[in-house]
Structure 1
Amino acid sequence: MDFHLACKAGKVKLLLPYHSNKTAQDMYSTLLEELSRAVGARLIIQFSYNGITYEVEPHLLGRDMNNQDCLCAWLTNVSGKETDLNGWRCFLLQDIRDLRALEQRFCHTRPGYKPYDDSMTRIYYRT
């Protein structure tokens, strides 16, 4: 694999490098693989989405009714600050940038979690 982990200030960072010999599809496949690992290991992740940094507990990875791959996750932090807007969010994979898997884990699924979410046409991975 052409990615590596870097440790800084007690956090583990997953770095997805850009290689000119990698296609966009290869990079997308790597993103899907790393998100699947985070869901399975219950790792808290951080990423940039439309210019905002989110920290979430990933629960489900799948394809929505609009035929777009997405991540359903419990929001815990926005731009490095705890938020009272905690809750379920769905993020389109095509808009996720700078993915980092943190060393912190979550133990339980959150209230309202639907492992067989009927808004998904296909589920790739779930907690």
Structure 2
Amino acid sequence: MIEQMLRQAVLGKNLIEFDYQGGTKVVEPHMVAHNMQGHILLSAWFVRGDRKFNEEGWQEYMLAGISKLKILPETFPKARFGYNPMDDRKYANIQFCL
């Protein structure tokens, strides 16, 4: 279910809100992929929310840690600077992306 919601948000360029490691995040989702360790993660641009780890800009969130996911009506116009889904040093298997 979470992957279906993320796919919808990525394709629609909708911001999403979710709880992660004790804080609420609002991000621009760009990609869901497996990293080299085999974990499935969300690559996203941090927009606002709790900055538990001084987040800003590009962040990766393990899907297993995401809860209370909501697709927001707010959208973003295009991929952020630095977006590179083809970085084969970082991602082993892309599920979906912008």
Structure 2: where are the runs of 5+ without partners? none
Higher RCO structure, 1 or 2 (CA under 8 Å, sep 6+): 2
**Cα distance, 1:50 vs structure 2:** 0.7
* Correspondence list, 1:69-108, <5 A: 69-79=40-50, 85-108=55-78
- Structure 1 CA distance, aligned partners of 2:75 and 2:17? 12
**Cα distance, 1:88 vs structure 2:** 0.2
Runs of 4+ in 1 over 3 A off after TM superposition: none
Q: Indicate the percent of aligned positions where both proteins have the same amino acid.
A: 32
CA RMSD in angstroms, aligned pairs only: 1.5
Larger Rg: 1
Say whether 1:110 aligns with 2:88. Answer: no
Determine the structure 1 residue equivalent to 2:16: 45
**Cα distance, 1:78 vs structure 2:** 1.5
TM-score between both structures, scaled by the size of structure 2: 0.91
| Matched letter for residue 61 of structure 2 | F
**Cα distance, 1:85 vs structure 2:** 4.7
Structure 1: where are the runs of 5+ without partners? 1-29
The alignment of Structure 1 onto Structure 2 pairs a total of residues equal to 95
**Cα distance, 1:120 vs structure 2:** 0.6
| Matched letter for residue 77 of structure 1 | R
After the TM superposition, which of the residue ranges 97-106 and 107-116 deviates more from structure 2?
A: 107-116
**Cα distance, 1:116 vs structure 2:** 1.3
